[in-house]
């Protein structure tokens, strides 16, 4: 048995899980929040109980030191030597990274070169990597990339119809995100069906506050809804999804605002929140829509319509999907959302079973026995996927 740390570093946060592999049992999990600010918050689960404390944590290095020492303090490990590997979630690998890789100086240099592709995320990812490598220099560190699973997309899927040198010179193309989740679901579905992964043809709907749809053919991603950034695709909690790009110039002009501010509104003030004028949380919108709130219902239905559009297209693209998989926070828990989307796919013979669909956060077939495409809920687990890939590279 080996203990693997799965890490997700943000600009002011550090999430972690310690897993026992290959059994995939979670030993502990926690998060450091408000790094670099006053009253930072550290929380960790010990024997199922959440322990939280408030203190000042100046930087990611201090956060890593704190969490590792807390593992010893709470008798979770006896020494740092028990940690066999650390898997780091990295949001972007550009077009050169198609699988998880051991982190060395050459990889760090490459990530620094492409940091402009995702400056808000790659910078913090690199900060977390460097902090862990400094404190655990003799442990193997592995980068697990959100974009890697989608590097199997063909050119017809990932290229935009823009001047070709935008791609060759400036790397403008669809990259896709949530790849670690889509990869986990693909593997898990193959296990559930006792199938060779290369025989899996499915459409995955990863629906959380961020959301993306993925077409999986022969076990590989051949298209996905997110693009050059996570802003492309379907409407989300606060993101607009696809719009006419000319809207950006128009709104910048009429509001006398810089383009950067309009893009910020598309990222943080749109989607559920923008359409509803109420909330970015689907649960709030479902409650409000039941009380007759038109905008709340509209926000839900606009997203459901766009998701169904993608699923219908990807069903065709994979040569006939054998299954549609719902996952992530909303996909796993919101029966109303699944029913709404399923009803829009009736022309393909999709039938949602009301009784089966009345479930939350469990693996469950939710379509009827007569449904021409099976529909499942499968909870995702990106940390387990990170630990699997890390273990494979030890």
The reply to whether 204 sits in an annotated binding site is no
Specify whether 146 is catalytic. Answer: yes
The reply to whether 209 sits in an annotated binding site is yes
Place of tokens 């796919």: 345
The reply to whether 239 sits in an annotated binding site is no
The reply to whether 338 sits in an annotated binding site is no
The reply to whether 89 sits in an annotated binding site is yes
Burial of 198 (0-12, 13-18, 19+ CB in 10 A): exposed
The reply to whether 331 sits in an annotated binding site is yes
DSSP 175-239: --S-HHHHHHHHHHHHHHHT--GGG--EEEEEESSSEEEEEEETTEEEEES--SSTTSSS--SS-
Distances (CA, A) of 64 to 22, 103, 122, 215, 288: 24, 17, 18, 37, 42
The reply to whether 339 sits in an annotated binding site is no
The reply to whether 78 sits in an annotated binding site is no
Tokens of 360: 């939350």
The reply to whether 306 sits in an annotated binding site is no
**Extended strands (E) in the chain:** 2-9, 13-21, 25-33, 40-46, 49-55, 83-90, 101-102, 140-145, 202-207, 211-217, 220-224, 323-327, 364-365, 374-377
Measured distance CA(314)–CA(327) in Å, rounded: 17
The reply to whether 75 sits in an annotated binding site is no
The reply to whether 10 sits in an annotated binding site is no
Measured distance CA(18)–CA(174) in Å, rounded: 33
**Three-state SS string across 59-104, please?**
CHHHHHHHHHHHHHHCCCCCCHHHEEEEEEEECCCCCCCCCCEECC
The reply to whether 283 sits in an annotated binding site is yes
The reply to whether 242 sits in an annotated binding site is no
Residues 6+ apart with CB under 8 A from 58: 35, 36
Place of tokens 């890697």: 148
Catalytic residue among 62, 104, 146, 369: 146
Inter-residue contact 379 to 243 (CB < 8 Å): no
Measured distance CA(161)–CA(176) in Å, rounded: 17
The reply to whether 40 sits in an annotated binding site is no
Inter-residue contact 64 to 46 (CB < 8 Å): no
Evaluate the omega torsion of the peptide bond into residue 294 and state whether it is cis, within 30 degrees of 0. Answer: no
The reply to whether 264 sits in an annotated binding site is no
Q: What is the distance of C-alpha 147 from the center of its chain? A: 10
Measured distance CA(121)–CA(100) in Å, rounded: 17
Active site residues: 146
Residues in the annotated binding site for substrate = 89
Which residues are annotated binding-site positions for ATP?
15, 206-210, 281-283, 329-333
Annotated binding residues, written as ranges, equal 8, 15, 89, 206-210, 281-283, 329-333, 382
């Amino acid at each position: 048995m080996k203990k693997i740390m799965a890490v997700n570093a943000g600009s002011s946060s550090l999430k972690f899980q310690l897993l026992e592999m290959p059994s995939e049992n979670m030993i502990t999990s926690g998060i450091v929040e408000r790094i670099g600010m006053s009253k930072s918050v550290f929380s960790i689960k010990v024997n199922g109980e959440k322990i939280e404390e408030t203190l000042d944590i100046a930087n990611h290095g201090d956060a890593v030191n704190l969490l590792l020492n807390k593992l010893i303090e709470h008798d979770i490990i006896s020494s740092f030597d028990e940690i066999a590997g650390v898997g780091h979630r990295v949001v972007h690998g550009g077009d050169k990274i198609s699988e998880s890789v051991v982190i060395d100086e050459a990889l760090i240099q490459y990530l620094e070169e492409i940091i402009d592709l995702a400056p808000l995320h790659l910078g913090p990812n690199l900060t977390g990597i460097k902090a862990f490598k400094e404190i655990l220099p003799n442990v193997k560190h592995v980068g697990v990339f959100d974009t890697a699973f989608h590097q199997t997309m063909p050119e017809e899927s990932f290229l935009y119809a823009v001047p070709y040198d935008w791609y060759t010179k400036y790397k403008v193309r669809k990259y896709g995100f949530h790849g670690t989740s889509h990869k986990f679901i693909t593997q898990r579905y193959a296990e559930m069906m006792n199938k060779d992964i290369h025989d899996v043809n499915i459409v995955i709907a990863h629906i959380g506050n961020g959301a993306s749809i993925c077409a999986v053919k022969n076990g590989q991603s051949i298209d996905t809804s997110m693009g050059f950034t996570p802003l492309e695709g379907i409407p989300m909690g606060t993101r607009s999804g696809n719009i006419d790009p000319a809207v950006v110039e128009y709104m910048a002009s009429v509001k006398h605002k810089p383009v950067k501010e309009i893009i910020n509104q598309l990222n943080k003030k749109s989607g559920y929140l923008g359409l509803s004028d109420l909330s970015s949380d689907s649960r709030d919108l479902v409650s409000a829509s039941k009380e007759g709130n038109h905008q709340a219902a509209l926000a839900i239905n606009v997203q459901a319509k766009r998701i169904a559009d993608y699923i219908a297209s990807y069903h065709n693209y994979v040569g006939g999907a054998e299954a549609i998989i719902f996952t992530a926070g909303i996909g796993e828990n919101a029966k109303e959302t699944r029913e709404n989307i399923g009803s829009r796919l009736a022309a393909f013979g999709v039938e949602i079973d009301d009784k089966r669909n009345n479930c939350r956060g469990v693996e469950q077939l939710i379509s009827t026995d007569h449904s021409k495409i099976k529909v499942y809920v499968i909870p995702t687990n990106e940390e387990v996927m990170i630990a699997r890939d890390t273990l494979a590279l030890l």
